Amino acid sequence: MANFQVAIDGPAGSGKSTISKLIADRLQMIHIDTGAMYRAVTLLAIEKKINLHDENAYQFLESVNISYRDNKIYIDDRDVTEEIRSKEVTNNVSLVSSFPYVRNQLVEIQKKAAENGRIIMDGRDIGTVVLPNADVKIFLTANVEERAKRRQKEKMLKGQHIQLEKLVEEITIRDIKDSTRKESPLKKAKDAIEIDTTNLTVDETVDKIIGLIISAKGV
Ligand code: DC
């Protein structure tokens, strides 16, 4: 089948990755979670003990290969899917992803990965920067309490209990950092369709987006 690109952007906890993955399974598309890539760079930077505030210290990216394949994120051949969800990575990823050097490196990989095939890519700047000509652009939102509840549930399934207020605070801080940074801030593309998922189930959101993909002749 011909190439087809779907861009899904939105704030932390809006359900981008869960929903993109389900759509990819149903429509046999390739899913790329770009947030996982920024997290992988953050993990590596922490492990290398570089000064996280020094943009020049990220030159190590020249000699590593970050890739997202089959729902897993790799640094070279090392699977870091679990490690990138740590608190330390989460708390530093907004800083790391604010550097133009880091963004340029990852955007190049992302553009290349989307060149061939049927791709659904989720992140913050996919509709605006990475895939400005995507066939379908979605901007997912949900109020912060709902997003915090979803995160709490996810953590609970992994046996961790985190207070809701703590998660609301964490997500609010990340929202502010992601949407006010100078380089490619989180922003709805002019031609993106906004879907507020606060009162929608995952299935309802998936069906809605699949409907839009069908209308755009992506199925
Ligand atoms: O989707 P996520 O929460 O796993 O993303 C982690 C961080 O990466 C997020 O706080 C901002 C950054 N990010 C970005 O700047 N651009 C993207 N395309 C995806 C994520």
pLDDT tens figures, 3-55? 999 999 999 889 999 999 999 999 999 999 999 999 999 999 999 999 999 99
Write down the pTM of the prediction: 0.94
Q: Could you give all domains of the chain from N- to C-terminal order, each with its CATH number?
A: 4-210 (3.40.50.300)
121 bridge partner residues: 7, 32
Residue nearest to atom 3 of ligand 1 (CA): 12
Task: Give the pLDDT confidence of 111-128 residue by residue, as tens digits.
Answer: 999 998 999 999 999 999
> What phi-psi label fits residue 180: left (phi over 0), alpha (psi between -120 and 50 degrees) or beta?
alpha
Ligand 1 center from residue 60 Cα (angstroms): 20
Ligand 1 center from residue 129 Cα (angstroms): 14
Percentage with pLDDT > 70 across the chain: 100
Ligand 1 center from residue 106 Cα (angstroms): 11
Q: pLDDT value at position 218?
A: 79
Q: 60-93: buried (b, 16+ CB within 10 Å) or exposed (e) per residue?
A: ebeeeebebeeeebbbeeeebeebbeeeebbebb
Distance CA 194, CA 134 (A): 15
Q: Which residues line ligand 1 (CB under 6 A)?
A: 12, 34-35, 38-39, 93-94, 97, 123-125, 174, 178
Asked whether residue 1 carries a pLDDT value surpassing 70, the answer given is: no
Task: Give the pLDDT confidence of 43-74 residue by residue, as tens digits.
Answer: 999 999 999 999 999 999 999 999 999 999 99
Ligand 1 center from residue 56 Cα (angstroms): 20
